[in-house]
Structure 1
């Protein structure tokens, strides 16, 4: 019996006491009401009913399981929250695929599951090459799941991955990956829930406000409400999901792309919206290595492509009008930044850039940009710019030591940290990434896929850049034509690319479970 005068916990405290994965189930179940309402408004009643019934059923199941867990404190080790995050990418998509499968009715549940994994990992690859096969509520659901998956990674980066020195934080950390640099920084269930609540209170308003602002700007620019909101959510989540098959079917034009480009800059560095990383101590955004490398690539690569295109246009005696040249340069700049941030939107003028020169830009360049990826603790995938900077800085240091073996580095606190252990850990991650790429390519080839296609699919999954399937090869790759084994391998690649190899390895470390 409770002591007399004891204060019962409030509703918020009760929610925080629930397991993290169960909370995610409840949040996504409630979010199903959004496409249900939209389906009712646009008179897609069958789709609306599928989402309404699934959402209500999900909320009921969440409430029942929540009552069963009331008063219980989950006993997991330091990596318990990481297991919940892993489960969110493996198990949760099966629940999200139920209304999608019931609404489409002309596909298999496996295809619906792959579609939802692609969305929640912000990969953006689709099983439906023809956008007209899906109605408005289904397109909204795909973009919404990806948007919520990006928000989930935003929050998890600060609340779960950063304390464990994973997800890119290990490069500048002072502890081994999977362990906290300070012993007083606990990873018990109550502490993690409190940390998640604090981080969510800060990041969710920023994420929502930026999405709404981009939605309004795109709508004012000429896009329909559905296209504008889907593209706005896709830009913030770097998912590249579009209800019209890309930017060529939009009405915002170059002005809309310019607005998108500005918002894609948030995926270059976490310092664009937060100061909770170690790099913030080294001079802010102006001296942030991720942001500077990202801007350099956005400027240098399009210029190189522009010169290449210009020489091609000169050789074939094409017209070199100023307007054509400007469109070609803009198409290259936007597409480079889009694939660097693993968004994957190709500019509507990307084709003009190739037609203007008479040459075809190789997809290998786009795959390389996607592999580099965006900033640490953002919604972008890939190897991450900070790890690339660590390897670059270590390479410079080793070249200096060839000339001056007894020299002492003076690169500052962050530079010395990167040169000591950060570069070593970044190299380990890069090798694990390369091994994962090789293994997935081999498995896809064994499943009946030709090598070139297998390589593109593996890179698209590990870098979470689904639009590579349309732009990296001469002919678009149709995922729906793959066998069941190949689809399962692609699902594993997307989950591995989103959660990253070091985090997966940490899940199988017995010593960390006893921490």
Structure 2
């Protein structure tokens, strides 16, 4: 019996996540005496559990041919089809939402994009926000599972750079996916990741509650931070206080570097100082806020008289730049409470191009963050710095060991291919949005935020953003496609077009 359950397709396991996502809001609404809201979620949880059980029983005795294609198709199909089912109770609870908006909301949550659709947040019950947050949290866990159980053996999702670093061929993983049962690998990965992911969320929830936040908002904040979805139940500043903001910043670093998710890195704790992702992240947190602070400081340099609290405002502006930079690299997309202070201090508008660049960089490999990944950017940086050195010293030797040479050559080559695919996908997405009626600026902002899975950042890129819920359904469906493309990455879609890949 146990081996039969292990032969169930991957999308059955992914679909099983929908039942607890609906059950928790139903329980909360029931104890709040909001039975009208509780019923759709309760009935949805029951039907989901029943459908998943029947589907698993139907397919458990078959012996499918395990291929790389089946795993990628299961992952892509989950992002395409599961939001249709998840949107049903949401539309029943909030009848003002159209089916397309409900689908887009669930795609946004499942891909941890967190694109703001419900505006104002107080227009719907808090249970609806809880449902969005739970789906986003489960979506973050799903991408962690997919990264370890699907993308790592296939050498995609940033793992192709890690393979090069360790001396493996970029395509060496294509045959590994069929060597072991996918369900066994998924179950083993789940057993290792779930306690860590849940434990970190619980610790963050307790810390935020102790810092002064109420229970509900602390719980929502903890889920949105660990999944880097940025989904919140209000339009207030993140963290609830300056202390809560600092706690959120610390956990964002954990969430986007896979320090605690990868057991191999636990055993190599002494290598954190040489970890390329951590080094690049630290450099960005120092350089970008420093330049932003200098930009604000120069704008106030010629102000006569000054202010007595100028030093305090300067420190607040510096912290606001540090937190917002970290938030956008993590594809969390929320601004610091002192970000507006920095703008008021200098009188300068939001540097939208800088924020778009940060969200495109993204977080680490095998994390919930989107974007192009820190490791790929690091490989391009090492290659670029070596080429610049050769311009002045043509006969110099690169050195730094074999690993560094592999990063500068094969690693940079693969990273550059992905960057071109990412920019190509962004171009297609912008063309679609432009043909649908949006301006170039709107298409650029929405294209970057969806492809980098940084939905909350959309409202910060423009002084007067247009509400996504007011767009045409065609535009909303294009945005949903962009979120899925950004979450799965263009490299996976390109792999499905390879005839050799389908024959494996």
Shorter-chain TM-score range: over 0.9
CA distance in 2, matches of 1:451, 1:115: 24
* Alignment length (residue pairs): 499
Given the alignment of the two structures, is residue 199 of structure 1 paired with residue 189 of structure 2, yes or no?
yes
Is the contact made by 2:331 and 2:370 (CA closer than 8 Å) also made in structure 1?
Answer: yes
Given the alignment of the two structures, is residue 208 of structure 1 paired with residue 198 of structure 2, yes or no?
yes
- The residue correspondences of 1:39-438 to structure 2 (distance < 5 A) are 39-174=29-164, 179-180=172-173, 185-188=176-179, 191-247=181-237, 252-276=240-264, 284-317=271-304, 318-319=306-307, 320-438=309-427
Once structures 1 and 2 are overlaid, which stretch shifts more, 65-74 or 31-40? 65-74
Is the contact made by 2:334 and 2:457 (CA closer than 8 Å) also made in structure 1?
Answer: no
CA distance in 1, matches of 2:493, 2:264: 24
Report the counterpart of residue 29 of structure 1 in structure 2.
19
Shift of 1:456: 0.2
Once structures 1 and 2 are overlaid, which stretch shifts more, 424-433 or 413-422? 413-422
Is the contact made by 1:340 and 1:369 (CA closer than 8 Å) also made in structure 2?
Answer: yes
Given the alignment of the two structures, is residue 445 of structure 1 paired with residue 434 of structure 2, yes or no?
yes
Is the contact made by 1:76 and 1:513 (CA closer than 8 Å) also made in structure 2?
Answer: no
Is the contact made by 1:458 and 1:493 (CA closer than 8 Å) also made in structure 2?
Answer: yes
Shift of 1:14: 4.0
Q: Flag the 1:84–1:383 CA change in 2: closer, same or farther, 3 A.
A: same
Shift of 1:46: 1.4
Q: Flag the 1:186–1:462 CA change in 2: closer, same or farther, 3 A.
A: closer
Q: For the aligned residues, what is the CA RMSD?
A: 2.0
Look up the SS of the partner of 2:102 in the other structure.
helix
Shift of 1:414: 2.5
Look up the SS of the partner of 1:448 in the other structure.
coil
CA distance in 2, matches of 1:58, 1:172: 38
For residues 74-101 of structure 1, the C-alpha deviation after alignment (integer angstroms, 9 at most, x for no partner) is: 2242221111111111111111111111
Is the contact made by 1:246 and 1:345 (CA closer than 8 Å) also made in structure 2?
Answer: no
CA distance in 2, matches of 1:17, 1:272: 30
For residues 39-66 of structure 1, the C-alpha deviation after alignment (integer angstroms, 9 at most, x for no partner) is: 1112221111010001101111112112
Is the contact made by 2:66 and 2:178 (CA closer than 8 Å) also made in structure 1?
Answer: no
CA distance in 1, matches of 2:126, 2:288: 36
Residue from 10, 13, 16 that aligns with 1:20: 10
Is the contact made by 1:172 and 1:418 (CA closer than 8 Å) also made in structure 2?
Answer: no
Q: Flag the 1:52–1:140 CA change in 2: closer, same or farther, 3 A.
A: same
Look up the SS of the partner of 2:154 in the other structure.
coil
CA distance in 1, matches of 2:355, 2:236: 16
CA distance in 1, matches of 2:22, 2:83: 13
Q: Flag the 1:500–1:282 CA change in 2: closer, same or farther, 3 A.
A: farther
For residues 341-360 of structure 1, the C-alpha deviation after alignment (integer angstroms, 9 at most, x for no partner) is: 10011111111111122222
Once structures 1 and 2 are overlaid, which stretch shifts more, 443-452 or 301-310? 301-310
Is the contact made by 2:319 and 2:338 (CA closer than 8 Å) also made in structure 1?
Answer: yes
Shift of 1:370: 0.3
Any stretches of 5+ residues in structure 2 without a counterpart?
none
For residues 392-433 of structure 1, the C-alpha deviation after alignment (integer angstroms, 9 at most, x for no partner) is: 111122233334545443222321221221111100111111
CA distance in 1, matches of 2:469, 2:399: 54
Shift of 1:366: 0.9
Is the contact made by 2:111 and 2:136 (CA closer than 8 Å) also made in structure 1?
Answer: yes
Is the contact made by 1:166 and 1:178 (CA closer than 8 Å) also made in structure 2?
Answer: no
Is the contact made by 2:350 and 2:460 (CA closer than 8 Å) also made in structure 1?
Answer: no
Shift of 1:68: 1.2
Any stretches of 5+ residues in structure 1 without a counterpart?
1-8
Is the contact made by 2:17 and 2:138 (CA closer than 8 Å) also made in structure 1?
Answer: no
Is the contact made by 2:324 and 2:339 (CA closer than 8 Å) also made in structure 1?
Answer: yes
Q: TM-score, normalised by structure 2?
A: 0.94
Once structures 1 and 2 are overlaid, which stretch shifts more, 392-401 or 447-456? 392-401
Shift of 1:177: 5.3
Shift of 1:327: 1.5
CA distance in 2, matches of 1:225, 1:288: 36
Once structures 1 and 2 are overlaid, which stretch shifts more, 76-85 or 470-479? 76-85
Q: TM-score, normalised by structure 1?
A: 0.92
Is the contact made by 1:271 and 1:284 (CA closer than 8 Å) also made in structure 2?
Answer: no
Report the counterpart of residue 477 of structure 2 in structure 1.
488
